[in-house]
């Protein structure tokens, strides 16, 4: 079967950020696994306000990392090992805040530290209000990350959560998987 060949056996570290589209990351995990990838999920603190870690644990079949300061997790697979484990890091949804923090090389939470510590390619799947996306600060941050080798999938244009419309929707999970398979 051709579908999924590109991701079969790949170790994907999915970093979920605190945006309304975090619920779509659950479907993304399922589709990535269907495509044959191993998926390990790390969440920002704010992502956990939108979706519970248990959802991702059940879907990924692996413990979910939610904090840098987790004694048990650090004793098992520490954040540096996790950063080394990944063949690719996917940040979905990538919030304006996390994009800015990655562009500036911050490492003050689990997701930013993993992204700084990895040498694996990073793919961002932005999702935010269209004004946040079009803001020159966000555009400059994305351009900087692209220059450093990050790939960007989306965002799509269409209706947004606040009843507005424009570029800012998270790309559909199936489209994200197809784009990752093509990489």
Ligand X SMILES: Cc1cc2nc3c(=O)[nH]c(=O)nc-3n(C[C@H](O)[C@H](O)[C@H](O)COP(=O)(O)O)c2cc1C
Strands (E), 25-155: 38-43, 88-94, 122-126, 151-152
Q: Is 127 in the site for ligand X (CB under 6 A)?
A: yes
The stretch near ligand X (CB under 6 A) out of 29-37, 115-123, 127-135, 151-159 is 127-135
Q: Is 28 in the site for ligand X (CB under 6 A)?
A: no
Q: Is 21 in the site for ligand X (CB under 6 A)?
A: yes
Rounded distance between C-alpha atoms, residue 114 and residue 179, angstroms: 22
Q: Is 155 in the site for ligand X (CB under 6 A)?
A: no
Q: Which is nearer to ligand X, 7 or 15 (CB)?
A: 15
Rounded distance between C-alpha atoms, residue 46 and residue 25, angstroms: 14
Q: Is 132 in the site for ligand X (CB under 6 A)?
A: yes
Q: Does residue 93 come out as left (phi exceeding 0), alpha (psi in the -120 to 50 range) or beta?
A: beta
Tokens standing for 77?
Answer: 């697979």
Q: How far is the CB of 54 from ligand X (least distance, A)?
A: 18
Interface positions with ligand X (CB under 6 A): 17-21, 44, 46-47, 95-98, 127-128, 132
């Amino acid at each position: 079967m051709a579908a999924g060949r590109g991701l079969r056996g790949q170790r994907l570290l999915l970093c979920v950020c605190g945006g309304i589209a975090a619920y779509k990351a659950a479907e993304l995990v399922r589709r990535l696994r269907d495509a044959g990838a191993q998926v390990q999920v790390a969440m920002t603190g704010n992502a956990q306000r939108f979706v519970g870690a248990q959802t991702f644990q059940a879907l990924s079949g692996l413990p979910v990392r939610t904090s840098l300061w987790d004694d048990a997790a650090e004793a098992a697979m520490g954040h540096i090992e996790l950063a080394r484990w990944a063949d690719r890091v996917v940040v979905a949804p990538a919030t304006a805040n996390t994009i800015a923090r990655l562009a500036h090389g911050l490492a003050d939470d689990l997701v930013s530290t993993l992204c700084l510590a990895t040498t694996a390619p990073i793919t961002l799947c932005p999702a935010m209000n269209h004004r946040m996306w079009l803001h020159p600060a966000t555009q400059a941050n994305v351009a900087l990350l692209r220059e450093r080798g990050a790939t960007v999938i989306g965002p799509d244009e269409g209706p947004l959560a606040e009843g507005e419309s424009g570029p800012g929707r998270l790309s559909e999970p199936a489209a994200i998987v197809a784009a990752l398979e093509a990489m």
